[in-house]
Amino acid sequence: MDLYGFVECLVTKVTGWVDTWLPSQLSFLTSPTSIHALVVLLMAALILVIVLLNVVMMIWVERKFIARLMDRRGPTEVGFAGLLQNVADGLKLFLKEVITPRGVDRSSYVISIALYIGSSVVVLALIPLSDRFFMADVDGGIFMIFAIYTLAPFFIFIAGWSQNNKYSLIGGMRSAAQMISYEIPLMLSTVGVILMAGSLSISVIVEAQQSMWFVIPSFLGFIIFLIGVLAEVERIPFDLPEAEAELVEGWTTEYGGIRFGLIMFTSYLRGYVGCALATFLFLGGWNGPFTQYIPPEAWFMLKVYILFMLLVWLRASAPRIRIDQLLQIGWKRLLPLAMLNIVIAVVLLSLGVI
């Protein structure tokens, strides 16, 4: 039984008991429409809580891992091994006063960030944890995820413009240029996988990798995809939109308190989505050995965390590149390589290798 079936059975039993106790007041709960709505709401809440807890854990993993790479210890005092340090930092941001600077375009200043955060959260509904733990499995799942995921440059550009700050405007322009430059190679790198799987559905793509992960025939596409994810979430060496040494904090300069905290949290959330997509497309998703002992959800999260630690390793090792180098890598290097990756996939399919 998948997650939907389990939750539906549970909700049906609970609403039946309530209807037996109070038949005249709450009988509407037992209608199929009400049960379906309750099931969807419970599944959305459950998946959101699980994913957000994992995002908090990923922040802790980054702080500890990057500290070890730099010969430090990282957070140690708040909670066991510093596990509650992120909670303390979050509470500190919640308690800070939220200030709206003078001269900003208030509607754009608020709405653009709300849409940036909201679009990133909506993607979670299309990210399954396994073939039995998902909220929605649509035929064009990959296409829908990219369609929502790539809205961010427009919201970020509007946010940078609305702040009436030259540093923020430059940061917003850099972010929009960077994301657009790397979104095209990012999406093209998945074409080979889609051709090999013959579907845009995440579950079908994962099922097609039971015998061989697509990272083997499409290793070039995997590397391009990871570089694109790095640029999309604006992590070192592609953190030019923030560039605190020259732009203060880039397009987030005039956001403080909980707004800044939610923006930072959303960047990690987008990093989780990027690592999850790489796992689905190239690393077999939730497939793994010893499934009788290790659940598929554990295999999926293990692969996501390994990829995320690779991104942290790059952050600790690679220097920031110039903006002209960043754009040249996207348009003059990754784009031709992504096209080459498609040609390789077509040749392998025509030869019957896959």
Measured in whole angstroms, the distance separating CA 121 from the mean position of its chain's CA atoms is 8
The pLDDT-based confidence of 166 (bands split at 50, 70, 90) is confident
Q: Looking at the domain assignment, is residue 68 inside a domain?
A: no
Q: Looking at the domain assignment, is residue 79 inside a domain?
A: no
Q: Looking at the domain assignment, is residue 23 inside a domain?
A: no
pLDDT of residue 16: 59
* Average pLDDT score over the chain: 80
Q: Which domain holds residue 143?
A: 96-350
Contacts by residues 98-105 (CB-CB < 8 Å, ≥ 24 positions apart)? 98/256, 98/257, 98/258, 98/259, 99/256, 99/257, 101/163, 101/164, 101/165, 101/254, 103/164, 104/162, 104/163, 104/164, 104/254, 105/161, 105/162, 105/164
pLDDT of 332 over the 70 cut? yes
Question: Using one digit for the tens of pLDDT, what is the confidence trace for 112-137?
Answer: 888 888 888 888 878 887 777 766 66
Q: Looking at the domain assignment, is residue 222 inside a domain?
A: yes
Q: Looking at the domain assignment, is residue 117 inside a domain?
A: yes
Residue 176: closest CA among 225, 232, 236, 118: 232
Residue 261: closest CA among 252, 251, 250: 252
Other CB atoms within a 10 A radius of the CB of residue 74 amount to 17
Q: Residue range 205-233: average pLDDT?
A: 88
pLDDT of residue 13: 63
DSSP 129: S
3-state secondary structure of 1: coil
Instruction: Domain count for the chain, please give it.
Output: 1
Q: Residue range 221-241: average pLDDT?
A: 84
pLDDT of residue 89: 82
Note whether 250 and 176 are within 8 A (CB).
no
Q: Looking at the domain assignment, is residue 57 inside a domain?
A: no
pLDDT of 256 over the 60 cut? yes
The pLDDT-based confidence of 340 (bands split at 50, 70, 90) is very high
pLDDT of residue 247: 67
The pLDDT-based confidence of 59 (bands split at 50, 70, 90) is confident
The pLDDT-based confidence of 155 (bands split at 50, 70, 90) is confident
pLDDT of residue 17: 54
pLDDT of residue 121: 81
pLDDT of 2 over the 60 cut? no
Q: Looking at the domain assignment, is residue 69 inside a domain?
A: no
pLDDT of 257 over the 70 cut? yes
Q: Return the percentage of the chain with pLDDT > 70, whole number.
A: 85
The pLDDT-based confidence of 222 (bands split at 50, 70, 90) is very high
The pLDDT-based confidence of 8 (bands split at 50, 70, 90) is low
3-state secondary structure of 130: strand
pLDDT of residue 40: 67
Distance (Å, whole) CA 177 – CA 290: 45
Distance (Å, whole) CA 118 – CA 267: 12
Q: Looking at the domain assignment, is residue 163 inside a domain?
A: yes
pLDDT of 224 over the 60 cut? yes
DSSP 49-78: HHHHHHHHHHHHHHHHHHHHHTT-----SS
Question: Using one digit for the tens of pLDDT, what is the confidence trace for 32-46?
Answer: 666 666 766 777 777
What's the CA dihedral at 267, 271, 276, 281 to 10 degrees? 120
pLDDT of residue 223: 92
Distance (Å, whole) CA 283 – CA 73: 31
Burial 218-255 (b: 16+ CB within 10 A, else e): bebbbbbbbbbbbbbbbbbbbbbbbbeeebebbbbbbb
Q: pLDDT: is 37 or 95 the higher one?
A: 95
